[in-house]
Structure 1
Amino acid sequence: MGDAKTEWGISTKLIMCFLRHLSEKSAEETLESALLHKEKIIAVGLDSSENGHPPGKFFHVFNRVREEGFFVVAHAGEEGPAEYVWEAIDLLEAERIDHGVSSVDDPDLMEELREREIPLTVCPLSNLKLRVVEDLKNVPVRSFLEKGILVTLNSDDPSYFGGYINDNYLQTAEALQLSRNDIYTLAKNSFLASFITEKERNFFLEKLLNFENSFV
C-alpha cells in the first residue's frame, strides 16, 4: 500500500469483513485482531454466503465496530432477500450496501435508499457468474438510476468473475443501452459513495466533470 502511494499516487484503505457463516463470537475475535492495524482500515463489512445468515446475527459486534469509529458496510440483497438490506441499514446501520440488487423487489426499500442516500455497490459480471441474474439485462442498474438511488458499478473479484471495472462498465452499458449521461452518473456516484475526505471527493469530481466536458 505504501509503495502504491509513493510510486503511483494510488491511495488505499482496507475494508475488513466478517464471514457471516461463522459465529458472532468469531467476528468479535476478528475485530480484536484487526484493531492492531486500525490505521489501515477505513470500514468493516459483512460478506460470505447470505442465505440463512441475516445481518442481525451480528448486531452486537457492529455496535463495537461503530464505537471504534469505522464506517459500516454489508453484503446484502445479493442472493438474500430485500429484508436483509433492511436489516443491514436499520440494525447494523450500514452506510453502504454491497450488491443490494434484491432491493428492486421492495418499493418502500427503494424509496428508503433514495431518501437516506445509501449507496449500492452493484457488481454486474459477478451477479451473472454467480447466477444472481441469468442475463446482464436483468441487473437492475437502470431501475436504480431511474429511482435516483446512488448506484455504482464494481468488479467484485475480477480474477474469479471474469472482468475488471472497465469490463463491467462496457458490458453493462451495452446490455442495458445506457446513455453517456447514465455512465457519467455511475462514475460520479462512485466518488459520492467513497469513504474519502470531502477535499478528495471534490478534487476527483472536478476531474471527472472536466473529462466529461472535454467530449462536448
Structure 2
Amino acid sequence: MRTLAAKALAEVDNQYALGQKTNDVPAMAGDLQLKGNILLEMGRYDEARQHFARALKMTEDSNLSDAIKNNTRRFDHYNRTRVALGKKDVATAKAEAQEFWKLAEASNNPFQLKLAHELGGMIALDEKNYEKAISELEQSNMQNPQDLYRLCWAYQARGNRAKAREYCTKAARFNSLPLINLAFVRAKALKMMVAKG
C-alpha cells in the first residue's frame, strides 16, 4: 500500500505541475485535496491537513465565485473532521462535524448531507457506538465503497457476520468508474471478506 500510495502522490504532483503551468486554480486545488486524501489514508494526518489548508487558501485567494469559495470552506470542516478522527481527537472531530452538518443543511445539498451522515458514522465507529454508526452510515453515500467498508466493520463489531460479509463483499466488488475511495478499501475489504468465510 505504501509504495502504491507514494506513486499516487508522485502522480498527483505531476498533475499539480500541469495546473501550475496554466494557473488552473480549480485543478490545482483539486490536486491538493486529492493529495490530502491520499496522505490521510496513509496516516500522515498533519501533512493531509496542510494540503487541505493549502487548497482552501488557494481557492479563497482566487477569483473563483463566492459559491465555490463557500463550498470549499464547507468542505474544510469535512476534512478537518477526518483529520481529527485520524489523530484520535474526537472532541475536535465532533465540533467540526457539527459545523459541517449545519452548513450542509443550510446549503440544502443532499450529497453533502450524506457526507454529514458519513462523518457521524465515522465518529460513532471511533466511539464504538456501532448501532449509531450503522444508522448514520446507512444514510451516507452507498456509492462510496469506503462507507460500505465502514458498514462492514460496524456490523462485524455488532456480531452480525452475515451483514458484515454482505457489506465487505459490496465494498470489495464495487464496480464503478475509477474512484480513489475504491483504491483505499478494495484490498482490505477482500481480505476481510475472505477472513469471514
- Give the TM-score, by structure 1 length: 0.33
Per chain length, whose mean CA-contact separation is higher, i.e. which structure has more relative contact order (CA < 8 Å, sep 6+)? 1
- Give the TM-score, by structure 2 length: 0.35
Q: Higher strand fraction: Structure 1 or Structure 2?
A: 1
